[in-house]
């Protein structure tokens, strides 16, 4: 057995800090086993997050689009083995089983067919799977090749643990920043469970929201139905779901509120993130206007977009905001459209409510578009 490659070990730990390096790491693992490329994915009941080597990205995209992940016997058998190392196809199946398995037939037809992989349980509930792919014509992976990658498996497990903790820390920091604004906030998973929430959000339990056995529960029935519908849409298309704002009328002992669903998408949701959205609740008790810099950081706005958002929250219209900034109204409208998309709002009143903690959107108020 060869000695571990120290530079490869360095790349493993770099990927824990920099998610963009996972494709490079998969390439290097593939090179050691004369493979085509690799895929890293999390297998959870909520959704499959994945990244692949550039040369195999289209291959894995076809595989996922065809629905094979939901009926993947390779992952099922591999995870069930609870083996702290890499396994080949022939560790899990006989040749006859492989020839009779529809998934293998499909993968061979689209260019792959042999696998070398390991499953790593992460404390946040995810199962991380590293899969190295070889074209069928190259022949099966050898046990010796699996044992070579076993040299790096403990480092991969530690890197996965670090990356998962960073993801959790990011959401805890985000809801903490919103706490500093006086805003109740929580990070909610695709299934609806609370991943992190701040003290302001906890203070609204159980009168407005509850952490139920099946996840977040909004005590107002209509709002609860809207939240569940939003999460369902996000599960089906996690990177394209828009935001939403849901007014909740006052009830005895509780004032009116607005529940804002701010999507987490793109680069903000890495391979380990299970978060569907941030839930931000504004009530009559939250009246502080945040600084432009904080608004910019929380919602990934440009400085110009943050300035427009703050101007709208101060009660300025588009013409006044344009004069203040010394730009055209068309420029402000374009910036405001981007602000709506990033904050999960669709009207100026909703944006002002999010930033000011306004109590409610007046019934019958006309929609404002940029």
Most confident of 14-23, 24-33, 48-57, 166-175: 24-33
50 pLDDT above the threshold of 50: yes
Give the pLDDT of residue 328: 94
Instruction: Please report the pLDDT score of residue 359 as a whole number.
Output: 33
Average pLDDT across the chain, whole number: 83
pLDDT of amino acid 41: 86
Tens of pLDDT, residues 260-319: 888 775 544 556 656 668 898 877 554 456 667 767 766 778 889 988 988 888 889 999
| Per-residue pLDDT at 59 | 94
Q: Which residues contact 151 (CB under 8 A, 6 or more apart)?
A: 1, 2, 4
User: For residue 46, what pLDDT is reported?
Assistant: 58
Structure confidence at residue 121 (pLDDT): 83
Residue % of the chain over a pLDDT of 90: 39
- Above 80 in pLDDT, residue 47? no
Residue 266 burial by Cβ neighbours in a 10 Å radius (0-12, 13-18, 19+): exposed
Q: Please give the pLDDT value at position 162.
A: 84
Q: Which residue has the higher pLDDT, 285 or 354?
A: 354
CA distance 259 to 361: 11
Query: Model confidence at 146, in pLDDT bands (50, 70, 90)?
Result: very high
* pTM exceeding the 0.75 threshold for the entire prediction: no
Residues 186-225 have pLDDT tens digits of 988 878 888 889 999 999 999 899 998 888 999 999 899 9
- Amino acid 44: pLDDT: 63
Q: Which residue has the higher pLDDT, 363 or 130?
A: 130
Instruction: Over range 34-41, report the average pLDDT.
Output: 93
Find the Cα–Cα–Cα–Cα dihedral 81, 83, 87, 89, rounded to 10°.
Answer: 0
Q: Residue for token digits 């990205």?
A: 57
Q: pLDDT value at position 258?
A: 80
Q: pLDDT tens digit string along 243-258? A: 777 878 777 777 778 8
Q: How many CB atoms within 10 Å of residue 315?
A: 10
């Amino acid at each position: 057995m060869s000695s571990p490659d120290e530079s490869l070990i360095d790349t493993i730990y770099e990927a824990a800090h920099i998610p963009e390096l996972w494709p490079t790491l998969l390439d290097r693992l593939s090179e050691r086993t004369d493979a085509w490329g690799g895929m890293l994915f999390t297998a959870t009941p909520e959704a499959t997050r994945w990244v692949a080597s550039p040369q195999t990205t289209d291959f894995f995209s076809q595989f996922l689009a065809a629905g094979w992940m939901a009926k993947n016997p390779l992952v099922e058998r591999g995870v069930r083995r609870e083996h702290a190392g890499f396994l080949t196809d022939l560790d899990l199946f006989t040749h006859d089983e492989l020839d009779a398995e529809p998934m293998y037939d499909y993968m061979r037809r689209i260019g792959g067919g042999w696998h070398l992989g390991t499953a790593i349980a992460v404390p946040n509930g995810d199962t991380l799977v590293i899969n190295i792919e070889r074209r069928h014509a190259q022949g099966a992976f050898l046990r010796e090749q699996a044992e070579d990658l076993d040299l790096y498996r403990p480092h991969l497990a530690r890197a996965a643990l670090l990356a998962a903790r960073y993801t959790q820390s990011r959401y805890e920091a985000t809801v903490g920043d919103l706490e500093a604004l006086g805003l109740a906030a929580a990070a909610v998973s695709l299934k609806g469970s609370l991943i992190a929430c701040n003290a302001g959000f906890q203070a609204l339990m159980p009168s407005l929201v509850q952490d139920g056995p099946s996840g977040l529960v909004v005590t107002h029935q209509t709002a609860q139905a809207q939240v569940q519908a939003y999460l369902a849409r996000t599960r089906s298309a996690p990177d394209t779901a828009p935001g939403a704002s849901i007014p909740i009328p006052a009830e005895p002992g509780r004032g009116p509120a607005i529940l804002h669903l701010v999507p987490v998408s793109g680069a903000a949701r890495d391979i380990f993130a299970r978060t569907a959205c941030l839930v931000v609740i504004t009530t009559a008790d939250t009246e502080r206007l945040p600084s432009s810099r904080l608004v910019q950081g929380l919602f990934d706005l440009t400085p110009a977009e943050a300035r427009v958002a703050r101007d709208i929250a101060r009660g300025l219209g588009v013409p006044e905001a344009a004069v203040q900034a010394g730009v055209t109204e068309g420029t402000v409208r374009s910036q405001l459209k981007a602000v709506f998309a990033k904050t999960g709002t669709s009207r100026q009143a909703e944006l002002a409510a999010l930033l000011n903690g306004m109590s409610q959107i007046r019934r019958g108020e006309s929609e404002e578009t940029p």
